[in-house]
Amino acid sequence: MISSTYVAGKGLIYHFDARSKLLLTLVLCIEVFLPVSPTGIYLLSLISFLIALYATGMKQALSPLKTILPLIIMMVLFTPFTYTDAPAAITAGNVQLATTEALYHLNLLIARFIAITYMATLFVWTTTMSDIMLTFQWYGLPYSGALVITLAFRFIPFIADSFKMISDAHSLRRVSSDTKGRRRSRIFDILPTISSALVFALKSIPNLAATLEHRGYSTGHRRTRYRTLRTKGPLFTHFLICVIIATSFYLLFSL
């Protein structure tokens, strides 16, 4: 199972300091919910898409669109029912399909959704796991919190691999594949596999705890750092860029 979210690629975005990148992503995600023009939001989405396209290629850059497409279809289907009191904009015969207000809101909802999807995705694609952890720590996450996330990423592929083996082992243990006997509901067929997988995972907890201690982990104990956030140029410049982009977006597109 793929457990890394980082996508290697090219472009300035990889050199943009992770701390200011996170701040910019969050601020822009909030700004799209303020009264700003849909055009501005679409522009934001387009820029994010183009950066993703340049950084990672067409196939990768289009992938978020696929994951949100069903949702956009649902918005198209349901938003018209919410706003019915305005003049009709689209009609089929005598039936009013959508009002002008509905179209306006639909447009806004879709724009916002695409924008936050691309901005959030772009952040996790272009920032390495260790940089994300260091960024969170810079913003105040305690070391133990970052450690939990790192350990989780260590165990995700391990448990995924084990889960595969466990379900294989159980498929070989079955007496006969649903030919004889009562056929029970399928949802309970998965119980033995789930139980084995959970017991298997729980058994690794004491070993993990012991190893953490053996390798010198304890709370409040001082540690040196192997990895640090390295930024090209002064950090101040990065934050300045972040502030400039965020304010100019608001000033240009606020209604």
Partner 1 sequence: MINISELSFTYPVYSRGASQKKKEVLSSFSLSAEDGERVLIYAPPDSGKTTLMKILCKAIPSYTGGTINGRIEVDRTDLFDVSGGALTGIITYVSQNPQEQLLMNTCCDEIAFPLESLCIDPDEMDKRIESALSHWGLSELSEVHPQELSGGERKRLLLAVTEAIGAPNWLFDEVFDDLDINYKQQLLNVMKAHKGTIIVSASRFLPEFAGMFTRIVSIADGGCRNLSEKEVMNLTSNQMKVLQYQRKMDNESSSVLSLRSAIVTHPRKSVSSAVPFTLSVPSFSITRGEIIALVGPNGSGKSTLSRVLCGLDPLCEGSLTVDGRPMGQSILKQNVGYMFQNPDYSIFLPTVYDELTYSLKNDTSVVKSERDAAAQMCADVFDLVLDDNPSLMSYGHRKRLQGAIYYLLQRSFIIIDELDAGITYQTAYKIISLFQEKGCGVIVISHDAPFADSVAQRTYEISGGEVRLRANR
Partner 2 sequence: MNESRPAMKIALVSVLTAVTVVFTLLVRVPTPIKGYISLCDVVIVFSAYLFGPWTALLSGGLGTGIADIIGGYAQWAPLSFVIHALQGLLIALIAHRKTEEDGTADTASLGAMIIGGIIGMIVMAGGYYVAGGILYGFQAALVEIPLNLMQSGVGVVLGIAVAKSVSKAYPPVRNLYW
Q: Which does 185 bind (CB under 5 to 8 A by kind): partner 1, partner 2, none?
A: none
Residue 138 interacting entry, from partner 2, partner 1, none, C-beta within 5 to 8 Å by type? none
3-class SS of residue 89? strand
Question: Site residues for partner 1, window 2-61 (CB under 8 A)?
Answer: 3-4
Output the furthest CA–CA distance in the chain (Å, rounded). Answer: 76
Q: How far is the CB of 68 from partner 2 (least distance, A)?
A: 8
Listed residue (205, 193, 188) closest to 163, CA to CA = 193
Q: Which is nearer to partner 2, 40 or 64 (CB)?
A: 64
Q: Is 188 in the site for partner 1 (CB under 8 A)?
A: no
Among 39, 171, 247, 248, binds partner 1 (CB under 8 A): 171
**Interface pattern 149-168 for partner 1 (x via CB under 8 A):** -xx-xx--xx--xx--xx-x
If you count them, how many residues does the chain have?
255
Interface residues for partner 1 in 205-244 (CB under 8 A)?
Answer: 206-218, 221-228
- What single DSSP character describes residue 85? S
Shortest distance in whole angstroms from residue 169 CB to partner 2: 15
Query: Hey, what long-range contacts does 207-212 have (CB within 8 A, 24 or more apart)?
Result: 208/151
* Phi-psi category of residue 140: left, alpha or beta, with phi > 0 → left and psi -120 to 50 → alpha: left
Token pair listed for 222: 């001082």
According to the binding rule CB under 8 A, does residue 176 interact with partner 1? yes
The number of beta carbons lying within 10 Å of the beta carbon of residue 204 is: 14
d(CA 61, CA 121): 10
CB atoms within 10 A of CB 20: 21
Q: Tell me which of 7, 53, 65, 129 binds partner 1, using CB under 8 A.
A: 129
Partner whose binding site includes residue 201, from partner 2, partner 1, none (CB under 5 to 8 Å by kind): partner 2
Residue 42, both tokens: 């679409």
Q: Find the binder of partner 1 among 10, 174, 232, 234 (CB under 8 A).
A: 174
Q: Which does 240 bind (CB under 5 to 8 A by kind): partner 1, partner 2, none?
A: none
Identify the CA nearest to 38 among candidates 121, 103, 119, 123. 103
- Binding footprint of partner 1 on the chain (CB under 8 A): 3-4, 129-130, 150-151, 153-154, 157-158, 161-162, 165-166, 168-177, 180-182, 192, 195-196, 199-200, 203-204, 206-218, 221-228
